[in-house]
Structure 1
Amino acid sequence: MAKWGEGDPRWIVEERPDATNVNNWHWTEKNACQWSKDKLHSLFSDLEINDSIMSVQIKELKKCEGEATANNRKAKLIFFYEWELELEWEGRCAGSDQVVKGRVEIPNLSDENDIHEVSVNVTLVDPDRGAIPEKIKGMMRSKGTEVIRSKLDEYVSSLKMDFSQGLILPTKDGKASGVTPSGANSTATKGKTELNKGSTYKPKESGEQCSGIKISTKELIMKEDFKCRAEELYRAFTVPEMVQAFTKGAAQVIPNVGGHFQMLDTNVSGKFLKLVPPNELEFEWRFKSWPAEHYSFVKITIEETSDSSQLKLVQKGVPEDEVERTQAGWQRYYFDAIKRTFSFGATLSSGGF
């Protein structure tokens, strides 16, 4: 089965006028250590974490030890990073003048761990000072951990965006090669897929693109079961943080009618046309290598059953020679990735969410 990326120029060995790193085949590396230290300091400097009665401010990133590099090999970007961090914080509780001091240790921020696997260890400098310090520590272990992990995720996303520049070099026609998302699991789960070979979806009334070339298209229909509530599955497609989590990179998502989205290293983009939470989504969708200005139409419906939610995807206007690659892309980079990231392939607990 074809994969996203096959047929793209970056997969074909081409000659370059300067004979340098032909088709991005050779290993190149950029040191991201100092950039990472500056970025982490800026993310945590004076960061505030509050709830209705307690407030905490990160006073200092006291320890920041490790390394980070961005690498290109065979037109694939690979990011290595490993950091050990220590934060110092001060907290207060409404109605009290007591200042509580503590630390946060993050020993395993690494490309080998997903963000939710990164340890965030909260401790008090003086643990024997009564009930208020324990309350603030509890808040930091719950809400504080969520905020800190979101900042770590922002660092990883920024690393992948900022240091992809210049690593994928132009090919002989002067265009930059695309970026292949790294770290995706190639194991496919078996969903139901149908192809309507008679479909001829036309995104414009004329049936022509800006180039004036008519495109032969087909309809793609896929079904997939997820062990989660319909609302959770709907949020996976519309909440920016969840999209960034399962695509493992920066993503822009504006979940309203007319709002645009872009993800998977800008390879996928589109615009929302209809949102009916938690059961229906309609949007324009295209892959970067498709003919200019050609968008397909996608309708996703989600039906919740007693122990799972079934997603049905109908996509019209897929270029005929891109159907297999598009199908494989949905399966690998969306469905499998969502199940893996959010454990939506596991059995639902009786208590629900």
Structure 2
Amino acid sequence: MVVNNPNNWHWVDKNCLAWSKEYFDEKLTGLHVEEGAKKVQVANVSSVEGDVDVSQRKGKVISLFDVRIVLTFKGSNDKVDDINGSITVPELAYDSSSDGLVFDISIYNESSENSSITDLIKAKLIPELRKRLIQFGPDLIETNSKDIQLEAEKVTSTYTKANLTQSSMSGSKSEPKVDAKSASVSKPAGAQQTKSQSSVPKYNTTTLHLEPTFNTSAEQIYITLLDASRIAAWTRSHPEIEQFPPKEGSSFRFFGGAVLGKLLKLVPNEQIVELWRLQDWKEGHYAELDMRMIQSSGETKLVVKFSGIPIGEEERVRDNFEDMYVRSIKITFGFGAVL
């Protein structure tokens, strides 16, 4: 509830990026479609990056948002039981139209046997995603305006009350909410709901998803990310990390202490999960960095997911990772073209 804002007169802003991640988790995770032997399901919302704000002044509520969303999916067909990949929506903005939304589909380990899943995604899953994504704007205002406005009965100003009434009427004309239990798309009974957190984080946080590709094997990428001599080469500094192979639970410091953390999970040539932080973040705050190596013929895709990045730090983390990790590794070891 708004405090010290008589008659909803003053400008009030609410940052809704964290709420947006929960919203997309609830609305999109578990959506699935099928056609014959082909099936595909949204496995999770890997990343929501950008800006989402709801504001009010003089009784009027507006929303301004521009986000990039990455979904991961899993599927199967009559030849392959385990097909995985991602769907990226480069831009969902306050002025986006349903037909104007773009969807970039990436299949991990793509081959002639699993590529047919793309046709199912385009024909059946994407139309349903359009419906749910375009409903985001009306739902954003409907839910979050309650936190930044006094109720109408507590407003005495005729002017702001009229604006409040118009805003309410405008909201009621939004498209009806899509029934998630449609014939072709549904949520499984066990779909995970939004998790409650037992403690308040030091930052409001967001996520980041990247998929760089290297012209080498998964084994070589795994070693390059964990072996001290190789890390020294691509960071151009002396790293602090256990001798290869390091143990789960051990700590590391790269770039003279600018990046530090702890190794949480190590699956040789497949996955590295770390607690990861920049030195100037608040003491005790770590993001989780999950790096999965997906090898195909002649190359390896590194599926990178950061969780817990402080809001406002997304671009900095993305730029630093792409430049100081990905680009530097490619240049140092010749693992691919540098853009």
Q: TM-score range by the shorter chain?
A: 0.3 to 0.5
TM-score by length of 2: 0.41
**TM-score between the two structures when normalised by the length of structure 1:** 0.39
